[in-house]
Amino acid sequence: MTVRGAALAIALATIACAYHVGIGGIRGASATVLAASETMWLFDNAAMAELLTLEMAQMLRRAFSVPIERLGWQQEIGSDPIEPPASGPITHFDRRIEFLLQNDPIVVPPRALPPGTQQQRPPAWAYRREILEDLRDDLARLPG
């Protein structure tokens, strides 16, 4: 594997891990950008670096085009806000959900819950984040 191939693999793995593991906030975003920019430094061909930067930007756009939803509860001793399904193909939570249920506050992505999950108490809050595009003409949205 060439240095370019290794650098690209590192950059793509970093972006994939940041998205799938759920590194959030400024720290996660800056770590992803820093890792990707450090690997781009290894490229000596400016045209190749420009092409790969565009490809990474397209990958990030696809990754963030899926709305991000979260449900949240305050931790109460002795009671989880949700329980795994009693029957069906999945009757337990995976390790990620088990870990999230131990934190205070409890913040869980609803898409990660198996079908049939039992809600023991309603969420204290919920949010949904999605990227909206400004479809106006450039002259209409840019000042001057």
Render pLDDT for 99-114 as a digit per residue (tens, 0 to 9).
Answer: 999 998 999 999 889 9
Tell me, yes or no, whether 79 and 60 share the same domain: no
More confident residue, 64 or 127: 127
Which of 17, 40, 64 is a domain's end point?
64
Assigned domain for 138 exists: no
pLDDT digits (tens, 9 = 90+) for 49-101: 666 677 777 777 777 777 889 999 998 887 889 999 888 888 889 999 999 99
Q: What secondary structure letter does DSSP report for 22?
A: T
What pLDDT shows up at residue 16? Answer: 55
Q: What is the distance between the alpha carbons of residues 62 and 74, in angstroms, rounded to a whole number?
A: 32
What pLDDT shows up at residue 25? Answer: 45
- pTM here is 0.51
Tell me, yes or no, whether 81 and 121 share the same domain: yes
Tell me, yes or no, whether 46 and 84 share the same domain: no
Angle at 27 between CA 21 and CA 28, to 5 degrees: 25
What pLDDT shows up at residue 40? Answer: 53
12-15 CB contacts, 8 Å cutoff, 24+ apart = 12/56, 12/59, 14/39, 15/56, 15/59, 15/60, 15/63
The pLDDT mean for the chain works out to 74
What pLDDT shows up at residue 79? Answer: 83
If you average pLDDT over each of 2-6, 24-28, 115-119, 131-135, which comes out highest? Answer: 115-119
Sign of the CA dihedral with 97 first, then 23, 55, and 43 last: negative
Tell me, yes or no, whether 11 and 60 share the same domain: yes
What pLDDT shows up at residue 134? Answer: 79
Tell me, yes or no, whether 57 and 85 share the same domain: no
More confident residue, 122 or 19: 122
What pLDDT shows up at residue 3? Answer: 52
How many domains, the chain? Answer: 2
**Residue at token pair 């450090």:** 38
* 24 pLDDT above the threshold of 50: no
Q: What percent of the chain has pLDDT over 90?
A: 24
Domain enclosing residue 45, as ranges: 3-64
